[in-house]
Structure 1
Amino acid sequence: MTKVGFLYPGFAAEDDYPRLGNMVQPPVEVELVHTKFKRDAHTVQALTEMGSINRLLEGAEHLKGTGIESVLWTSTSASFTLGIEGVQEQIEVLEHSLQIPASTTAMAFIHAADVIGSNRIAIAATYPDDIAQLFKGFLEYHGFEVVKFSSKGIITAAEVGTLQREEVLKLAVENDSDQADTLFIPDTALHSAEWIDEIEEAIQKPVLTANQVSFWEALRLAGQLTEQTGLGTLFRQPLEEDT
């Protein structure tokens, strides 16, 4: 059985990962490590500490010897907040430490968007405005046009993790745009795994959610990505062998 690893800060929507592992066919084994941090807050200072190299290496130690084939740092905001060079350093450090392919949720969004042909993006962010603006800048750096931008203003991941199906659907529908070809929902603290097809049906376009793209990226890096149903447009895309 394919086995992939995730470093997940704290507790919020981490149960999406084993859920996704059971939703794909054949099933995928998930090894998830909860990383530590000083403060659960969507602020630059807190996210910089949360995504620091020391925190990632601390978590990576628990993944050694587990037989995982790839690893993801699954905090979108505690990746893009560190800037382009910071994201790359996170990836390089994890690859060096574990000697397997690695990525971050922030980069998973870029790779996933490229695969489905996204160009014009609407962002439905749970973050405060300043953090959401950093995500917008991250996407624009990678060549995407952000045609609508919204921020729900939630400070803690713990609070985001309490949002239920109806609230997640409302977040998507109210913050979509007719001008966008894809909707991005970037917080790994937000549950989404079971509702991706439902969200796409509601907005009539592809949606990329943080936990969805993280799981997809882990499979892609492990060379175990196959077309799936029930997980949105992204998982229905054929992948080139050399991707």
Structure 2
Amino acid sequence: MTALGFLYPGHSAEDDYPRIEQLLGSDVRVDLVHTDIGEDAHRVDALREMGSPERLAAGVEQLRLTGADAVVWACTSGSFVHGWDGAQQQVRSLAMAAGMPASSTSFAFVHAVREMGASRVAVGATYPDDVAALFSGFLRTGGIEVTGVRSSGIITAAEVGTWEEAQLFALARAADHPDAELLLLPDTALHTAAHIPDLEKDLGKPVLTANQVTVWEGLRLADRRVNAPALGALFTREPIVQA
């Protein structure tokens, strides 16, 4: 049994995780611990506080008790707002506190894009423009070309969590770009786990979503590969060998 631990801020789309566990269909356990979100706002100062070492450390002991093999900070905006170096320090601090390999959703996107052998992506963000721009900058620092960004101006994760299928598909279609090899949907507050194959069919290209890549990152840290077509192209391809 591989046990994956996730620190998830607040309550928005956490039900994606038991769904993903079921879709993996193997001996993988997904354990979710909720962290204190503080102020629910897609605003840089609030997001930095949400991902502070103190807030993350508060959930670590509970994850250790589950016997997790790896931990991922299941939040994109609460990591990339610290910049590349700050997000790396955030992950290092989390790994030291947890005593196990650690990562975050922001790095999960970078690693997943590389896994797909892609270099050009489009971004469909629920965030306001300034926060979406920070995510694009993070990707570029990771060596990924961003062909375009579509932001939605949503302030709270709570509102994003209420989005239904029609809103999700509308964002994906509006954000897609003909030059993009992949489409990225970066908010872990957005329900996507039930829709990835349909999104990929609709757009005619692979789609990476926040909760999907977060679980994939946990598996990567635990040195596990699971073939799960219901979770999209990321979970069905052979690994890319990095030079």
Shared fold (TM-score, shorter chain, > 0.5): yes
SS state of the match for residue 148, structure 1? strand
Query: Once the 2 structures are TM-superposed, how far is the Cα of residue 99 of structure 1 from its aligned partner?
Result: 1.6
Corresponding residue for 1:75? 75
Quick one: distance in 1 between partners of 2:237 and 2:37? Answer: 36
Contact 1:22 1:28 in 2 (8 A): no
Query: Once the 2 structures are TM-superposed, how far is the Cα of residue 117 of structure 1 from its aligned partner?
Result: 1.2
Contiguous gaps of at least 5 residues in structure 1 = none
Which residue identity is paired with 1:10? G
Contact 1:125 1:150 in 2 (8 A): yes
Quick one: distance in 2 between partners of 1:119 and 1:90? Answer: 25
What per-residue deviation string (whole Å, max 9, x for no partner) do you get for residues 8-29 of structure 1?
0000001101110110121521
Structure 1 residues 125-164: aligned runs within 5 Å: 125-164=125-164
SS state of the match for residue 89, structure 2? helix
Which residue identity is paired with 2:66? T
Which residue identity is paired with 1:50? M
Aligned-pair Cα RMSD in Å? 1.5
In the superposition, the TM-score normalised over structure 2's length comes to 0.96
Structure 1 residues 66-215: aligned runs within 5 Å: 66-215=66-215
Quick one: distance in 2 between partners of 1:224 and 1:51? Answer: 27
Quick one: distance in 2 between partners of 1:87 and 1:154? Answer: 23
Quick one: distance in 2 between partners of 1:27 and 1:207? Answer: 25
Quick one: distance in 2 between partners of 1:238 and 1:226? Answer: 11
Contact 2:116 2:240 in 1 (8 A): no
Contact 1:21 1:27 in 2 (8 A): no
Deviates more, 1:71-80 or 1:220-229: 220-229
SS state of the match for residue 64, structure 1? helix
Deviates more, 1:30-39 or 1:195-204: 30-39
Quick one: distance in 2 between partners of 1:242 and 1:24? Answer: 25
Corresponding residue for 1:35? 35
Quick one: distance in 1 between partners of 2:58 and 2:65? Answer: 15
Which residue identity is paired with 1:53? P
In the superposition, the TM-score normalised over structure 1's length comes to 0.96
Aligned identity (percent) is: 49
SS state of the match for residue 193, structure 1? coil
Paired residues, what number? Answer: 243
Query: Once the 2 structures are TM-superposed, how far is the Cα of residue 200 of structure 1 from its aligned partner?
Result: 0.3
Contact 1:7 1:32 in 2 (8 A): yes
Query: Once the 2 structures are TM-superposed, how far is the Cα of residue 59 of structure 1 from its aligned partner?
Result: 1.4
Query: Once the 2 structures are TM-superposed, how far is the Cα of residue 239 of structure 1 from its aligned partner?
Result: 3.0
What per-residue deviation string (whole Å, max 9, x for no partner) do you get for residues 102-142 of structure 1?
10000000000001012111110000000000001011111
Quick one: distance in 2 between partners of 1:171 and 1:240? Answer: 29
Quick one: distance in 2 between partners of 1:74 and 1:120? Answer: 24
Quick one: distance in 1 between partners of 2:224 and 2:149? Answer: 33
Query: Once the 2 structures are TM-superposed, how far is the Cα of residue 93 of structure 1 from its aligned partner?
Result: 1.3
Corresponding residue for 1:45? 45
1:226 aligns with 2:226: yes
Quick one: distance in 2 between partners of 1:241 and 1:21? Answer: 26
Contiguous gaps of at least 5 residues in structure 2 = none
Contact 1:118 1:182 in 2 (8 A): yes
What per-residue deviation string (whole Å, max 9, x for no partner) do you get for residues 143-201 of structure 1?
11111111000000000000111211111112101111110100000000010000000
SS state of the match for residue 72, structure 2? strand
Quick one: distance in 2 between partners of 1:154 and 1:3? Answer: 33
